[in-house]
């Protein structure tokens, strides 16, 4: 069994977390001070104050489960339209390898940040940890904190070799813990064959046989950067065949309502196209003929009512 | 519904087309003069004069439907062999993302060219349009002109952001209008999840959530460049898992006849290999043994006859 | 049929091989001296002396068939773990296009090296060939030498255009000759649509419609370089969704035994995770609770016995 | 001498130009109709109507010589500022190799477009040419039309091999003909060692030993695309260490006046910084202290007067 | 003057800094709490505790001026050798454009971090700022804090467009404030022509005409990432023709002493090579002949004494 | 001094060379048999038999010193023209970083090949070496064999990290040993600042602070591949601002004679252009006016005589 253990331990992940004197949940701000970058519960609350949703025990905004469910029908384009209007121009990341294209990813962002290992900073961190009777922070520390509905979002600065956040075992655990939430890593994964058999979405830059190493875990549920996006803990994460959107919780409700209309519009548009009587510009984006406009308005109203009834069947 | 309309209108597409005083078809040269680049019906006829096929109403050579049908069995390699002989060395483009790998794309090239938006040129064009009581040219103007059997071929100079020629609605329309012809864009598409459910081949450089914008439509059915290929309106477009060939109409017939022989040759070659008695060099490219050569010649003759009979069942 | 032959002959492949006065097998060192690079049977034996397996007739170490069979369950990560321990840090290549992701490739390396064509060297080689009454070496010469269980491993220095080692016909032959062994080419393939219908793994840099040309075959079953790997003839080749490992024969047995343990470990780990009672760090990499450690040890022992029994059913 | 001639003739450049029955200048629209893309004198006038400058004999707007001279002090940033305000967001191209960094390039755009060679189109063009007793268009045809103050701007679609618009001989001629105007080519050059000894700016994608070939000249002084810029004939071309701006003539005057102010502002800013008494934010972008603001305003006024006096010494 | 001001203000830089109730120096931890990421004076002290040098007023370790002076003779290779021994494998970044190749950059790291702009986080930050009567943090806030001997090290996540940390004016200020210290930016610069005339080293990813924008300043003198390096405030920064090293202060002294020996070794080696009597392996890395070894040891001793005398002339 | 030695020894270079029982020159085939790839003196003679020049003691063709001298005036274009005619299409490599652009590199190819380190092959080689009382082959073994007029040409398969063939000390030695011949490495160099002060041309892919390591030297003066070129020992190497040509010795004389004519042609062409009376097409490639043709012929004849007289002053 030595071999197996050695295989695992070559992945050097560091920094420590308050455990000893800390109550559950693990990320209580008073305990987490040993991280290189801390983001206190109060800071998290302040910077996500626009969200009126409940909070998860770790302080993140909790986009409700029923909205998560509705978000499964979103496409990047619909998210784009609303975020653009709200002035959010930097919430989209792409260029990933996608594990299960066609399976939409939806969940709440659980963020993790790594930085390149640096021996002296590591030594100080270890000393601090010992002093408080604590253990080091590893990728598994973070993974153990995942909640149902989470998407694990990890900044590994695009690292391929030694930048593998999970293999198939931890990916399986993540799937169980998040109830098939998902994974976004600006870094790599390993055991891709094994992962391919596990039914959870994953977005990653590369696959590599090496375990994670030569890095240090510098923050959990702090603001992180994925590509050109600033991701906040608790963001709604939506991934499709194109890429991943990180949606601030406060715009989720409006975004979903607007998406309903867009779905109906697409439905109606294709129906009219299927009739084969119209040029595309007579129907799309908006019908040119007032009669068709009227027809569309009525269709929209009817379908919206149906959808709402379906959601609240009473 | 305002939101939906806004979503669509952010795509700025310009230049206008004669509609008012023009009879159908839309691209009559006298009306189309407001395009930045024009290619009159006479020019189109002159530069494609080697084609002896009928013409489409817009002047493009019309590779006949039965030849399109036979072209579905072509592979890039067979096209390569004949074009090489005819001195066409620049008719192949690759490096695309392919929507439905394994589904061969076949059709007649309908070409569209965009260039980067330039405010002063745009102003002049708009003024000219108004003066003639015309509307601006948009991507939908072009799409509305598509005919059954067409492949929409678009030069968007590799643009990703704001370079999306269609989303799922217009892709659906294109599928309907061309009878599942296809799309080649040196640019991007959006709504990739939606497009994936529509059964038509598409070749594109990237997918992006933004709508088309910051460009101007500068020509319809003019010679355009896709990668290192000069594409002429009416070219036979053939796409497979590797890339796309643009075949001048005048060589289509010979190419298809030659492909029949190559298919039979491959059929026979694999049959002999399956017997397990021969080294590859004894059979392929040409049998070394005169008896096998004879066998092949007879097989070829028989199969050609069968194929021809099958095509013209009397 | 001229067209077909011409199609094939444009692929210029050169250098010759002793045939006339040579007994089978073809690669007897005394005959092969006309290759630009030779690696005599003695040299091959010396440099692979650590392998205690039998030899193939051409001198390569022969990893036994039953070990090949067991190797089908390997993943790159398992190979990585053992090779790392043994000091082999350069045996992995990736960045390939993969024909059938999910279908593991396993076999013995049959190596071929090409270099850019150079007229004067070619002339000398041809003269030498004539002088001995020999034929030139071509890609088909090499392919004709393939044995059941081989993977064809080809250095074509990343060439795309004119760097296509096989099309669907020769790929079909290779599949037959190697009993679905496989292909790794640091170069390209053609007829990708045809190849996709043939059930054998293939790893290649690109697909292109051109035939092979403008190169010379400079060595068969000599040490070659694929990416940053030195591949020796007879290496165990293992390919999965991530990339390809070239395993020195002498470590194959230990590697497979270790892989059995890792498989059982993964099996047990996922079983425990599926129970939903543990944090990931309580179970993986190694259980923290002594009782669980005990449970695992017993499970491991039992499963190893089962596996061995299954392999040697008496 | 045969060798020399052969060296030159391998560069296949095509399409023809009216010479026989045409008066000087060569590009009279009635004669140039044999080009694949034509842009008549009237079209050129219409699309550049916002320019109030004189015209060159070939119809291009002529930014006056004294403004060209003043433009030598521009940097890309100053051009950026004004174009941005005027709504021109797509007039900058970069990513070039620069022959003489530090030597600003200034001149009027003389545009040339090439497309990939296509045998059938080429045949038609040649036939048309013969029919009118004309010669083919080559890169030298275009180069022979250059005027003093011109910058040769060429779309060769990024071609490296066989995409060399000039070598040192034609570069020398261009330098003479344009009075050291300059060269921008979205393609390559050859004889870089020879070119390095010639004192004219050049912006190119690559250098290669091959001569131009496998292309056809499809337009002279038509709108062309360089990177993501639509270049119009007669644009003011400004190149510095970063890249190249293509400025519509109608904004040149305002741009230069504004640049005077920016130069003075930079002059004053650095003077204040050199005093070492201020934080950067106290001075730049605009002084925070009203007294400094007043000082700056007086400095600006004085220096503007000096500059104007210097330009018009009475 | 409006134009000038507008030019500058388009660069949106944000987040604020305690000024109102804070004494100098600006970065007192109690005031800086409004930054997204804070690193208190105590944290900075803890994580750089291995340095025994004095501290700058802002808490960074202060590598003494005389050591900075000696560091001007370092090359990347010498730094590599010592850091490697000390277990620092991740302190080197390259791939930069270099403003003045051949001019070694030496100084103390002053770190700045930007992240992509995000409207909601920005709003909170602005509100917090107002609440405390503070101004926003901009790139100039950071630049105004620079000290003599500093190198400005900026994480702009590789941004080119809108990622320009300075133009020539602020680069000039930086040169004055740091006494020609230097600049490293994982992002871009503008006004490259102007910068080229200013005598200070700069390492940047690209140059672009746009001003900085669409980003937020998220930390000053916090640990940042440049490429695959974790940079700590106060690190010794050494840049040469190859790239940049970030040296932990505690190893600077040993590194410089070792560099003296390496310089002498190189001096002696070249001297012996110049004699033309020896093969390279007889002299380098270490002489094979015991007499030459003795000669070298004496030379080393003598030169070390000379150097030390020269540094401390009594 | 330990530090210095350690610095050097981290570069692991292997394989051995017959020294003990071998007479000078070192590369006698009977001794060199321990290399992974051998190329006997006879093979070298056979494959370069078209060269009628003398041989160097190691068997390479020796392009005479006076021809080397004349080759200093060559440019890549002139080499291209002649090699193209002779059917050598693959003798040019580019994409290098160039140490001293503007300084032409000329010399005879001394080739060295490395491959990725492989522990088992290395063990065998070491055992073989010991058995014969030999030392391992290192990069210094090769460098010690360099002759005046040589260019060191090294295949390090594009390796950057640990792929540095020389630093400034060995580059200095190489400069001394080759009399400023030059260096081409498909790999990297270190100590770039030091190298920049040494007056010898160098072409390399990258610079890196690491020493060479993780590779094995597999051949000296064997055929190697640089980019898409097969380089033979003794090739004339010509490097300019664009790239490097490897010229088979047998075409060197004709190439140089032809270059004389091209130089004169360029001289005359520029002289005529400088007169300002001609369009470029009237003079270049060949004058259109018979009188000018005559003038050129006379000029050519006169200048050729002058050049020859100058070379052989009697």
Q: Which of D237, D30, D265 is nearest to D152 (CA)?
A: D237
With residue F311 as reference, give the H or E element that holds it: helix F290-311
Q: How far apart are CA D126 and CA D134, in angstroms?
A: 9
pLDDT bin (cut points 50, 70, 90) of residue B14 is very low
Higher-pLDDT residue of D22 and E84 is E84
Q: How far apart are CA C248 and CA C83, in angstroms?
A: 9
CA of residue B50 relative to chain centroid, distance: 19
Chains B and E touch (3+ CB pairs under 8 A): no
For chain E, first and last CA: distance in Å? 57
**Which of A118, A162, A223 is best to mutate for the E interface (most E CBs within 10 A)?**
A118
Chain A residues with CB-CB distance to C79 below 8 A: 209
Q: How far apart are CA F235 and CA F122, in angstroms?
A: 30
Question: For C79-88, C274-283, F125-134, which range has the lowest pLDDT when averaged over its residues?
Answer: F125-134
Choose the closest CB to D285 out of E9, E191, E196. Answer: E9
Choose the closest CB to B281 out of C5, C140, C191. Answer: C140
Q: In this structure, what are the phi and psi dihedrals at residue F139, rounded to the nearest 5 degrees?
A: -60, -30
CA distances from E100 to B198, E105, E146, F294 (A): 55, 9, 21, 51
Choose the closest CB to C157 out of F47, F120, F225. Answer: F225
Kindly identify which residue of chain E lies nearest to residue F196, measuring between CA atoms: E102
pLDDT value at residue A236: 98
- Is pLDDT at F135 greater than 90 in this prediction? no
Q: How far apart are CA F107 and CA F150, in angstroms?
A: 5
Q: Which of E74, E208, E89, E227 is nearest to E154 (CA)?
A: E227
Question: For A182-196, B75-89, F55-69, F83-97, which range has the lowest pLDDT when averaged over its residues?
Answer: B75-89
Question: For A203-207, C22-26, D273-277, which range has the lowest pLDDT when averaged over its residues?
Answer: C22-26
Residues of F with CB under 8 A from a CB of C: 36-37, 46-50, 86-91, 115-121, 123-124, 128, 157, 159, 214, 216, 218, 222-223, 225, 228-230, 232, 248, 250
Kindly report the number of other CB atoms within 10 A of residue B176's CB atom.
20
Average pLDDT over residues F147-170: 98
Q: How far apart are CA D148 and CA B11, in angstroms?
A: 41
- Is pLDDT at F159 greater than 90 in this prediction? yes
**Is E147 in contact with E55 (CB distance < 8 Å)?**
no
CA of residue D28 relative to chain centroid, distance: 22
The residues that bridge with D204 in the sheet, in sequence order, are: D97, D185
Q: How far apart are CA C103 and CA C99, in angstroms?
A: 9
Residue F203's Cβ-side half-sphere holds a number of Cα atoms within 13 Å equal to: 29
Contact A241/B196, CB-based, under 8 Å?
A: yes
pLDDT value at residue E35: 66
Q: In this structure, what are the phi and psi dihedrals at residue E169, rounded to the nearest 5 degrees?
A: -65, -50
Question: For A227-241, B7-21, B295-309, D243-257, which range has the lowest pLDDT when averaged over its residues?
Answer: B7-21
Decide: helix, strand or coil at residue C157: coil
Tokens of D77: 């940033």
Contact F102/D193, CB-based, under 8 Å?
A: yes
CA quadruple F204, F210, F212, F215: dihedral positive or negative?
Answer: negative
Chain A residues with CB-CB distance to C258 below 8 A: 3
Question: For C33-42, D53-62, D277-286, E241-250, which range has the lowest pLDDT when averaged over its residues?
Answer: C33-42
**Which of D116, D248, D254 is best to mutate for the B interface (most B CBs within 10 A)?**
D116
Contact E116/A218, CB-based, under 8 Å?
A: no
**Is F99 in contact with F196 (CB distance < 8 Å)?**
yes
CA quadruple D132, D137, D143, D149: dihedral positive or negative?
Answer: positive
Kindly identify which residue of chain D lies nearest to residue E143, measuring between CA atoms: D280
For the segment C8-57, what is each residue's pLDDT rounded down to a tens digit? 323 322 232 222 222 223 333 333 344 688 788 888 999 999 999 999 99
Q: How far apart are CA F106 and CA A221, in angstroms?
A: 60
Tokens of B220: 């319809």
| Opening angle at CA D175, ends D174 and D178, nearest 5 | 75
Q: Nearest CA to CA, how far is E186 from chain A (Å)?
A: 13
CA of residue A175 relative to chain centroid, distance: 13
- Is pLDDT at F240 greater than 90 in this prediction? yes
Give the DSSP letter of residue B55: B
Decide: helix, strand or coil at residue D79: helix
pLDDT value at residue A102: 93
For chain C, first and last CA: distance in Å? 57
For chain A, first and last CA: distance in Å? 58
Residue A187's Cβ-side half-sphere holds a number of Cα atoms within 13 Å equal to: 32
Chains C and E touch (3+ CB pairs under 8 A): no
pLDDT value at residue E70: 96
Contact D242/E192, CB-based, under 8 Å?
A: yes
Q: How far apart are CA F134 and CA F141, in angstroms?
A: 12
Contact C230/F117, CB-based, under 8 Å?
A: yes
Q: How far apart are CA C111 and CA C142, in angstroms?
A: 9
Average pLDDT over residues A112-133: 86
CA of residue D203 relative to chain centroid, distance: 10
pLDDT value at residue B10: 31
Q: How far apart are CA A105 and CA A243, in angstroms?
A: 10
pLDDT value at residue B77: 86
Contact B242/C192, CB-based, under 8 Å?
A: yes
Burial class (CB in 10 A: 0-12, 13-18, 19+), F103: middle
pLDDT value at residue A35: 66
For the segment D190-203, what is each residue's pLDDT rounded down to a tens digit? 999 999 999 999 99
Q: Which of C299, C305, C254, C268 is nearest to C71 (CA)?
A: C254
The β-bridge relationship of strands B183-189 and B150-155 is parallel
Averaged pLDDT score across all residues of chain E: 87
Q: How far apart are CA E252 and CA E293, in angstroms?
A: 28
3-class SS letters over chain E: CHHHHHHHHCCCCCCEECCCCCCCCCCCCCCHHHCCCCCCHHHHHHHCCCCCCCECCCCCECCCHHHHHHHCCCCHHHHHHHHHHCCCCCCEEECCEECCCCCCEEEEEEEEEEEECCHHHHHHHHHHHHHCCCEECCHHHHHHCCCCCEEEEEECCCCCCCCECCCHHHHHHHHHHHCCCCEEEEEEECCHHHHHCCCCCEEEEEECCCCCCCEEEEEECCCEEECCEEECCCCEEEECCCEEEEECHHHHHHHHHHHHHHHHHHHHHHHHHHHCCCCHHHHCCCCCCHHHHHHHHHHHHHHHHHHHHHHCCC
B308's CB contacts (< 8 A; 6+ apart) are: none
Contact A284/B4, CB-based, under 8 Å?
A: no
Chain A residues with CB-CB distance to C268 below 8 A: none
With residue C247 as reference, give the H or E element that holds it: strand C243-247
CA distances from B308 to B295, B301, B303 (A): 20, 11, 9
Cis previous bond, B94, omega within 30: no
Q: How far apart are CA F93 and CA F96, in angstroms?
A: 8
Q: How far apart are CA A65 and CA A150, in angstroms?
A: 11
Q: At what angle do helices D76-85 and D252-275 cross, to 10 degrees?
A: 130
**Is D188 in contact with D156 (CB distance < 8 Å)?**
yes
**Which of E145, E168, E170, E173 is best to mutate for the D interface (most D CBs within 10 A)?**
E173
**Is B231 in contact with B153 (CB distance < 8 Å)?**
yes
Residue C229's Cβ-side half-sphere holds a number of Cα atoms within 13 Å equal to: 28
pLDDT value at residue B35: 67
For the segment E31-76, what is each residue's pLDDT rounded down to a tens digit? 334 568 878 889 899 999 999 999 999 999 999 999 999 999 998 8
Averaged pLDDT score across all residues of chain B: 87
Tokens of A307: 């959808």
What number of C-beta contacts closer than 8 Å exist between A and B? Answer: 89
Supply the ipTM of this predicted assembly.
0.90
For the segment B204-260, what is each residue's pLDDT rounded down to a tens digit? 999 999 999 999 999 999 999 999 999 999 999 999 999 999 999 999 999 999 999
Chains C and D touch (3+ CB pairs under 8 A): no
Q: Which residues of C42-63 are buried (b: 16+ CB within 10 A; e: fewer)?
A: ebbeebbeebebeebebbbbbb
With residue C301 as reference, give the H or E element that holds it: helix C290-311
Chain A residues with CB-CB distance to C279 below 8 A: 144
| Opening angle at CA F235, ends F232 and F238, nearest 5 | 130
Average pLDDT over residues A232-245: 97
Cis previous bond, C82, omega within 30: no
Q: Where are the alpha helices (DSSP H) in C23-166?
A: 41-47, 65-71, 76-85, 119-131, 139-144
Higher-pLDDT residue of C38 and A254 is A254
pLDDT bin (cut points 50, 70, 90) of residue A155 is very high
Chain D residues with CB-CB distance to F265 below 8 A: 1, 4
- Is pLDDT at C252 greater than 50 in this prediction? yes
Contact C191/B77, CB-based, under 8 Å?
A: yes
Average pLDDT over residues F28-56: 78
Q: How far apart are CA F182 and CA F202, in angstroms?
A: 6
Q: In this structure, what are the phi and psi dihedrals at residue E116, rounded to the nearest 5 degrees?
A: -60, 140
What number of C-beta contacts closer than 8 Å exist between C and F? Answer: 98
Residues in chain E, total: 314
pTM: 0.93
pLDDT bin (cut points 50, 70, 90) of residue D20 is very low
């Amino acid at each position: 069994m030595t071999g197996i253990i050695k295989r695992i331990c070559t992945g050097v992940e560091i920094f420590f977390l308050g455990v000893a004197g800390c109550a559950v949940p693990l990320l209580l701000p008073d305990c987490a001070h040993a991280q290189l970058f801390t983001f206190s519960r109060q800071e998290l609350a302040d910077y996500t104050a626009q969200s009126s949703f409940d909070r998860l025990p770790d302080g993140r905004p909790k986009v409700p489960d029923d909205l998560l469910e509705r978000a499964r029908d979103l496409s990047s384009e619909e998210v784009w339209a609303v975020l653009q209007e709200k002035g959010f121009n930097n919430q989209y990341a792409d260029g990933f390898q996608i594990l299960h294209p066609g399976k939409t990813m939806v969940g709440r962002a659980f963020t993790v940040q790594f930085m390149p290992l640096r021996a002296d900073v590591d030594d100080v961190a270890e000393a601090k940890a010992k002093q408080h009777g604590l253990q080091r922070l590893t990728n598994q520390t973070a993974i153990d904190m995942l909640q149902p509905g989470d998407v694990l979002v990890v900044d590994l600065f695009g690292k391929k070799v030694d930048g593998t956040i999970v293999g198939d075992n931890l990916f399986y655990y993540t799937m169980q813990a998040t109830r098939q939430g998902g994974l976004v890593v600006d870094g790599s994964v390993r055991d891709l064959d094994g992962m391919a058999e596990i039914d959870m979405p994953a977005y990653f830059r590369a696959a590599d046989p090496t375990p994670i190493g030569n890095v240090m875990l510098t923050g959990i549920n702090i603001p992180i950067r994925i590509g050109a996006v600033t991701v906040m803990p608790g963001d709604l994460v939506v991934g499709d065949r194109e890429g991943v959107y990180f949606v601030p919780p406060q715009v989720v409700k409006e975004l979903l309502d607007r998406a309903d209309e867009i779905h109906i519009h697409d439905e109606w548009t294709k129906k009219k196209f299927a009739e084969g009587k119209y040029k595309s510009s007579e129907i799309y984006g908006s019908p040119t003929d007032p009669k068709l406009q009227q027809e569309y308005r009525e269709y929209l109203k009817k379908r919206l009512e149906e959808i709402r009834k379906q959601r609240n069947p009473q």
